[in-house]
Structure 1
Amino acid sequence: MKSVASSLSSRAASAIEHRCDVLIIGSGAAGLSLALKLADHCQVIVLSKSDRNEGSTRYAQGGIAAVFDEQDSVDAHVSDTLNAGAGLCDEAAVRFTAERAKDALNWLIGYGVPFDTETDAQGEQRFHLTREGGHSHRRILHAADATGEALQITLNDVVSVHPNIHFFERYNAIDLIASKENPGSCTGAYVWNRQREQVEVIRARFIALATGGGSKVYQYTSNPDVSSGDGIAMAWRAGCRVANMEFNQFHPTCLYHPQARNFLITEALRGEGAHLCHADGSRFMHKFDERGELAPRDIVARAIDYEMKRMGADCMYLDISHKPADFIVKHFPNIYRRCRALGIDITRQPIPVVPAAHYSCGGVMTDFNARTDLNNVYAIGEVAYTGLHGANRMASNSLLECVVFASAAAEHIIPQLSTSGQEEPIAPWDETQVSNSDEEVIIQHNWHELRLFMWDYVGIVRTNKRLERAMRRIQLLEQEIQEYYAHFKVSNNLLELRNLVTVAELIVRCAMNRKESRGLHFNLDYPDTLDSAEPTILTPDRRRARIAPGSLST
């Protein structure tokens, strides 16, 4: 059977084992930033489930928040983030991030990330700063409306030529390998080579999870197919706590079109004056929040969802056509081209939009060095719970978190590289008791069932009954999936399904333990917000939530 505890077999000599100092699982902004910061000091392997350019970073449009305007301040950035987080942010984590934001951006600028510039009144070039929902100032550096793509390409170009960074593309991470000699540590990971269709071992002194979130657990999402919660599920199985998994951000505006899959309409449109409206052009956001279209994402998403259900409409509309056409094309060329290809001219007509699962505010618990509960395992980016986002992520703080905590992790890892220890044997992957599956339809059926009931029962608006129904179905699916996993060889779909059902359970358990509505979690049975705000923490050994106060800053 496939187990960390499997005994060494006669195939050990032929088993493929790779070695490195640091294994980074994930090739987005967090993983590539960490690789670059470590590579002058050690050998790094970067594992990418698809090709190295695929991932949520690539699809991030808006930008990265940092204080560059002298009218702005770190205190204002902190205050805005705390407000958006609905009282649940760890203030120390917010300040830690905001204070390091400008250095993080300057580091990216030094590598050539092409942030947009403009000419000021004195004729000097400066960065063009835009404003997004929840921000009190213009502080978003961006590369037109494709910031993530520019960041991904730039970092990849630099990483690809570094001799100490080795890419393993089209590899799935299966599980972390627990150390027998040093409890609370890991010796590496089992990985599945998708091209050769075989399991291999990567031995590493340090492991960083940079796998992104798990929004693929929902039927409708802005995320790419690789966002299946792998790092969260792996860390949970290995013994790490997770927190705040009930807070799933639904981006208010994804393009609604039968030929447009997962295409995000950036919040920056609303920052530049776009209006949300009905099909007849009448606006509605003023009925929900005095900030109108610039209200935080949870409020805007619920407003759109409410109006769609109230009117029986398939979508709402986002209209920026009142702005000059050349302004629209210059600032949002990617959205303009994509919509134009589908017959929508955004300079003349509104964009049909719907909410979609977008970002996981919870994740694997870490401290300010990105350390998890395992001694040599780190988590960076969307996979992690740092305390930055609270009950709702403020726009353009996500890519910032990736770079800031990648730097913190590197600073913690580098001094430890000089120490050495004796290697312990790793059991090779044992497939002697499994066979090829002849019923892939089971995986597909379970896959669709999971994503559909998570959307229906654990979506933008929840109830106790919906959560209970979801949990009953999750428990049945877990049993069926585990039985399937035990008897058949692994595949990409099986590994992702196994991880997604774990993530679904964590989301529902957290949601069931929050007896209030706060930020992204809205429960009709508990519509009020409690006076005290505490994170929801799940502990693997008990597999049930406990509400625990305190910060991870120590």
Structure 2
Amino acid sequence: MPEIPTEVDFLVIGAGVAGLRAAIELASAGRVLVLAKREVADSATNWAQGGIAAALSDEDEIGLHLQDTMVAGDGLCNEDAVRVLVEEGPPRIEELIEWGTQFDRTGTRLAFTREGAHSRNRILHAHGDSTGREIQRALYAKANTLPNITVREFEFTTSLALCDGAVCGIHVLDESGSLRPVSASAVLLATGGFGQLYRNTTNPAVATGDGVAMAFRAGAEISDMEFVQFHPTALYLKHAPRFLLSEALRGEGAYLRNPELERFMIKYHPLQELAPRDVVARAIVTELQASRVPDPAVYLDLTHLDPAHVRSRFPRIDATCREYHIDITSDLIPVRPAAHYAMGGVRTDLHGRTNVPRLYAAGEAAATGVHGANRLASNSLLEGLVYGARAGESMRMHAGQKAAPPSPETARSTGSDPEGVISEIQDLMWNEAGIVRSAKGLQHAVDRLRTLAMVVAAPGSRREYEAQNLQQVGWLVAASALAREESRGAHYRTDFPNPEEKFRKHSVVSGENIRFE
């Protein structure tokens, strides 16, 4: 395979829904290079089961979708950002359909379902529980019809290059271990989230917070990092990955049972199993802590539902559970919460622009304020679609603006133990900055992560770069959580268990400084 070009018009880091949609928008304005750190399929988009939300049905209204999103965000949603999402979402989905996306239908009509905290049936699915995979397939196919777009796999972006205070390109570590500069007139970070910061996560292995860490090192403002969503129901079996068991299971009527096999959600929220994710996750933690069962789990129970419907509606979940000898129509499915989604990220405006000239961000890597303190189910694919297109449209203004070539860099391994560092960080963050937090635990995490900064200071291999990125992102999460002395949305502190009006603001980190605005 030929080497990647040393100069393009636009760089897109990440090949999920946000990155591919931005690239499509940019294709008519210049040469676009899309870089994936592993295979294109190794993305959170490809793993997304639950669906994509939009007010497209006859019984729904854009205003209701806006209202549901604002309520889930627990007082911190940027209403302008939400309005953009819900108003531009329907035409973007219609565009996807024109490009060949095969959403599930009832007869000839689109089939809409409901998930937690939605007031209407507005969730579209594809192939039952492979919605993200189908959307990525259609976007990738569309991108491949546009000659100005080049997509390259196994190209790991290590850093952003700055020229006179503006981004002028990147440095890439390829499969051979060579570090090479690539110049561009504008760069989009569409690198996804950072679930690998935690011992238990539903995220793919690539989700190491690379985009947020690179942006932070380049001087970008980082916002709302304390808000990490923990999905309530990930498969809990020893020696098995924490496979996501979609919200849609509960939307179809699945029950949650505690280790003693009792239904328990009625004690915690009037919506019971359909309560917001943060409520369900904390309820599960409470039930696990109260149980006397060794190594307890809670259970998803679908045994009262029609088996044929369950298997046809959730073919991917059914097949995965069968690999572990679980029949989802007759067996209880053991689950525990796992880190799932980052509401925070690189701070942007409604066009993907950051405070660093020529640097843009979109999708889970960005923080527009659209999700507030807690993301509404099935709004993430929609965000990537809407804000990826917006970022691409905005980046077009840089077409023809030749960038200065970045200075070369040299990979410089110190022979550290990145696997050991990453494992320590994952345990530290799970225990001290996870679902339930306190000042004591968060301070311990902040102090230890500062010490680890010296260990990961001179990366050379890909895994060493990932260790450095996780250390920096971990500090951003823990320090932001320590500064927010309240509980709100996905951020819960035992020492400050209630929301405080003075903290109904967004955290913003710039360098070592944390402020609320």
* TM-score normalised by length of structure 1: 0.90
Query: What is the CA–CA distance in structure 2 between the aligned matches of 1:338 and 1:288, rounded to whole Å?
Result: 30
Q: Does 1:115 align with 2:103?
A: yes
Query: What is the CA–CA distance in structure 2 between the aligned matches of 1:308 and 1:407, rounded to whole Å?
Result: 42
CA shift for structure 1 position 533: 4.6
CA RMSD of aligned residues (A): 1.6
Q: Does 1:450 align with 2:433?
A: no
CA shift for structure 1 position 413: 2.2
Matched AA of 1:390: G
Which one of the candidate residues 420, 431, 456 is aligned to 2:401? 420
Query: What is the CA–CA distance in structure 2 between the aligned matches of 1:60 and 1:17, rounded to whole Å?
Result: 31
Please say if residues 365 and 384 of structure 1, whose CA atoms lie closer than 8 Å, have aligned partners that are also in contact: yes
Q: Does 1:339 align with 2:321?
A: yes
| Partner SS, residue 108 of structure 1 | helix
| Partner SS, residue 9 of structure 2 | strand
Please say if residues 162 and 406 of structure 2, whose CA atoms lie closer than 8 Å, have aligned partners that are also in contact: no
How does 1:121-270 map onto structure 2 within 5 Å? 125-143=108-126, 144-180=128-164, 183=165, 185-193=166-174, 195-270=175-250
Q: Which residue of 1 aligns with 2:516?
A: 547
CA shift for structure 1 position 457: 0.6
Query: What is the CA–CA distance in structure 2 between the aligned matches of 1:474 and 1:312, rounded to whole Å?
Result: 34
Matched AA of 2:425: L
Query: What is the CA–CA distance in structure 2 between the aligned matches of 1:186 and 1:238, rounded to whole Å?
Result: 8
Q: Which residue of 1 aligns with 2:261?
A: 281
What stretches of structure 2 of length at least 5 have no aligned partner?
Answer: none
Q: Which residue of 1 aligns with 2:505?
A: 535
Which one of the candidate residues 17, 20, 32 is aligned to 1:29? 17
CA shift for structure 1 position 532: 4.6
The alpha-carbon distance between structure 1 residues 391 and 203, as it changes in their structure 2 partners (threshold 3 A), is same
Please say if residues 17 and 200 of structure 1, whose CA atoms lie closer than 8 Å, have aligned partners that are also in contact: no
Query: What is the CA–CA distance in structure 1 between the aligned matches of 2:77 and 2:404, rounded to whole Å?
Result: 40
CA shift for structure 1 position 171: 1.2
Matched AA of 2:390: A
Query: What is the CA–CA distance in structure 2 between the aligned matches of 1:312 and 1:509, rounded to whole Å?
Result: 34
Q: Which residue of 1 aligns with 2:289?
A: 309
Which one of the candidate residues 44, 48, 54 is aligned to 1:60? 48
| Range moving further from structure 2, 148-157 or 381-390 | 148-157
| Partner SS, residue 220 of structure 2 | coil
CA shift for structure 1 position 134: 0.8
| Partner SS, residue 468 of structure 1 | helix
CA shift for structure 1 position 415: 4.0
Query: What is the CA–CA distance in structure 1 between the aligned matches of 2:216 and 2:135, rounded to whole Å?
Result: 30
Please say if residues 181 and 407 of structure 2, whose CA atoms lie closer than 8 Å, have aligned partners that are also in contact: no
Please say if residues 22 and 390 of structure 2, whose CA atoms lie closer than 8 Å, have aligned partners that are also in contact: no
Please say if residues 514 and 536 of structure 1, whose CA atoms lie closer than 8 Å, have aligned partners that are also in contact: no
Q: Which residue of 1 aligns with 2:7?
A: 19
Query: What is the CA–CA distance in structure 1 between the aligned matches of 2:28 and 2:244, rounded to whole Å?
Result: 36
The alpha-carbon distance between structure 1 residues 130 and 533, as it changes in their structure 2 partners (threshold 3 A), is farther
Query: What is the CA–CA distance in structure 2 between the aligned matches of 1:372 and 1:198, rounded to whole Å?
Result: 29
Matched AA of 2:432: Y
Which one of the candidate residues 387, 394, 407 is aligned to 2:369? 387
| Partner SS, residue 223 of structure 1 | coil
The alpha-carbon distance between structure 1 residues 347 and 25, as it changes in their structure 2 partners (threshold 3 A), is same
The alpha-carbon distance between structure 1 residues 494 and 536, as it changes in their structure 2 partners (threshold 3 A), is same
Q: Does 1:429 align with 2:409?
A: yes
Q: Which residue of 1 aligns with 2:351?
A: 369
Identity of aligned residues (%): 40
CA shift for structure 1 position 17: 5.9
The alpha-carbon distance between structure 1 residues 346 and 420, as it changes in their structure 2 partners (threshold 3 A), is closer
Which one of the candidate residues 453, 462, 469 is aligned to 1:478? 453
Matched AA of 2:465: L
Query: What is the CA–CA distance in structure 2 between the aligned matches of 1:45 and 1:16, rounded to whole Å?
Result: 9
Query: What is the CA–CA distance in structure 2 between the aligned matches of 1:425 and 1:97, rounded to whole Å?
Result: 36
Matched AA of 1:21: D
CA shift for structure 1 position 282: 1.6
Q: Does 1:88 align with 2:57?
A: no
Q: Which residue of 1 aligns with 2:382?
A: 400
Query: What is the CA–CA distance in structure 2 between the aligned matches of 1:430 and 1:149, rounded to whole Å?
Result: 36
CA shift for structure 1 position 57: 0.6
| Partner SS, residue 103 of structure 1 | helix
Query: What is the CA–CA distance in structure 1 between the aligned matches of 2:115 and 2:75, rounded to whole Å?
Result: 20
| Partner SS, residue 39 of structure 1 | helix
What are the superposed Cα offsets for residues 476-527 of structure 1, whole Å, 9 maximum, x if unpaired? 1011211x43xxxx11110101000000010011101111111101001101
What stretches of structure 1 of length at least 5 have no aligned partner?
Answer: 1-14, 120-124, 549-554
Q: Which residue of 2 aligns with 1:8?
A: none
Query: What is the CA–CA distance in structure 2 between the aligned matches of 1:416 and 1:448, rounded to whole Å?
Result: 41
CA shift for structure 1 position 262: 2.8
Q: Which residue of 2 aligns with 1:461?
A: 436
Please say if residues 115 and 127 of structure 1, whose CA atoms lie closer than 8 Å, have aligned partners that are also in contact: yes
Query: What is the CA–CA distance in structure 1 between the aligned matches of 2:500 and 2:487, rounded to whole Å?
Result: 8
The alpha-carbon distance between structure 1 residues 383 and 312, as it changes in their structure 2 partners (threshold 3 A), is farther
Please say if residues 188 and 203 of structure 1, whose CA atoms lie closer than 8 Å, have aligned partners that are also in contact: yes
What are the superposed Cα offsets for residues 260-317 of structure 1, whole Å, 9 maximum, x if unpaired? 3131000001011000012453200000001000000000000111101110442100
| Partner SS, residue 546 of structure 1 | strand
Query: What is the CA–CA distance in structure 2 between the aligned matches of 1:425 and 1:99, rounded to whole Å?
Result: 40
Q: Does 1:501 align with 2:471?
A: yes
Matched AA of 2:401: S
Query: What is the CA–CA distance in structure 1 between the aligned matches of 2:71 and 2:373, rounded to whole Å?
Result: 10
Please say if residues 486 and 503 of structure 2, whose CA atoms lie closer than 8 Å, have aligned partners that are also in contact: no
CA shift for structure 1 position 366: 0.5
Please say if residues 16 and 201 of structure 1, whose CA atoms lie closer than 8 Å, have aligned partners that are also in contact: no
Query: What is the CA–CA distance in structure 1 between the aligned matches of 2:389 and 2:255, rounded to whole Å?
Result: 38
Query: What is the CA–CA distance in structure 2 between the aligned matches of 1:63 and 1:271, rounded to whole Å?
Result: 12
What are the superposed Cα offsets for residues 135-189 of structure 1, whole Å, 9 maximum, x if unpaired? 0000001111111111122222222343211122111111111112xx3x11100
